[in-house]
Amino acid sequence: MSEVNLAQAQDQVRAVMRGEVRAPHVEAFFDETTFTASYVVHDPSTKDAAIIDSVLDFDHAAGRTSFKSADKIIAFVREQGLKVRWVIETHAHADHLSAAPYLQEKLGGEMVIGSAILTVQDVFGKIFNEGTEFQRDGSQFDRLLHDGDTLMLGEIPLIALHVPGHTPADMAYVIGDTLFTGDTMFMPDYGSARADFPGGDARQLYRSVERLLQLPDETRVFLCHDYKAPNREEYVWETTILAERTGNVHFHEGVGEDQFVEMRTQRDATLAMPKLILPSIQVNMRGGRLPEPEDNGTSYLKLPLNAF
């Protein structure tokens, strides 16, 4: 993330504070099975909307997909009379499958992800031994965004910021006075994302978080996951930059880069892989699509042994 692009995002949040840019409306949809918060964000004036980090329901034991979570989003969009312009991923998730193609089919809009998805496709294309028919050029998506690229959500700018560390391709999005961080940070009482997946880097993660913490204190922060920290009874997925900067248990003010990297590395070594990482990555690196059906009409997911 360049300083110029960060300044652009800072200016936009301050413009909302001054009343020069409209604040978007944010509606959250929490899937407790995967601990994932998906969002519908819209411009109240134009009704233009974006969907961020949707969930395709997946019964791992049965190998069956369903659309209960996505259908809730569809119902809300239709009830509110919204026009979906963008179907956005913050990254290729390792803990849930994306419903982006289904939502696009039902509601329209362009599918968007960060341009570093090409790195993820290359790395995991090799892990899953995908053949030449699997394109590693990001063509499964409609738009690949680079750091600082701006889309419009009605009359509200949507600024993309590259925040690598959890994965090489993570993007955060500033829309008006809101920040959607994906897995880059969690609630202050829970901390930060792991950085031990292929292509992850704890030092990059620290630097990405430090950049985001330079946004104005009032910035509303919306997270992709919550796991209920100890002694907390409710799931929560909204906070502020001030709360993160002053109170996050992993990277509050005074925590240095080396200290964070040591903590993150030691903590990651104790974590099991997400139970849905193998199906999730195979689907999400394809833009949320299942692998092409074989000659019997059935799609299959691979189970690479000892790959991690």
Q: Kindly report the number of other CB atoms within 10 A of residue 13's CB atom.
A: 24
The phi and psi torsions of 68 (rounded to 5 degrees) equal: -60, -50
pLDDT at residue 31 is higher than 50: yes
Rounding to the nearest 10 degrees, give the CA dihedral for residues 167, 173, 179, 183. -20
8 Å CB contact between 42 and 149: no
pLDDT at 238: 98
| Secondary structure of residue 87 in the 3-state scheme | strand
pLDDT at residue 213 is higher than 50: yes
- For residue 167, is it within any domain? yes
Range of the domain at 30: 3-279
pLDDT at 2: 61
For the chain, how many structural domains are there in total? 1
* Residue 56 one-letter amino acid: L
pLDDT band (50, 70, 90) for residue 5: confident
- For residue 288, is it within any domain? no
pLDDT at residue 1 is higher than 70: no
> ∠ CA 93-101-142 to the nearest 5 degrees?
85
HSE value, Cβ hemisphere, 13 Å, CA-based, for 191 = 15
DSSP letter for 54, please.
-
Give 84-126 pLDDT, tens digit per residue.
999 999 999 999 999 999 999 999 999 999 999 999 999 999 9
What's 261's domain CATH number?
3.60.15.10
pLDDT at 281: 96
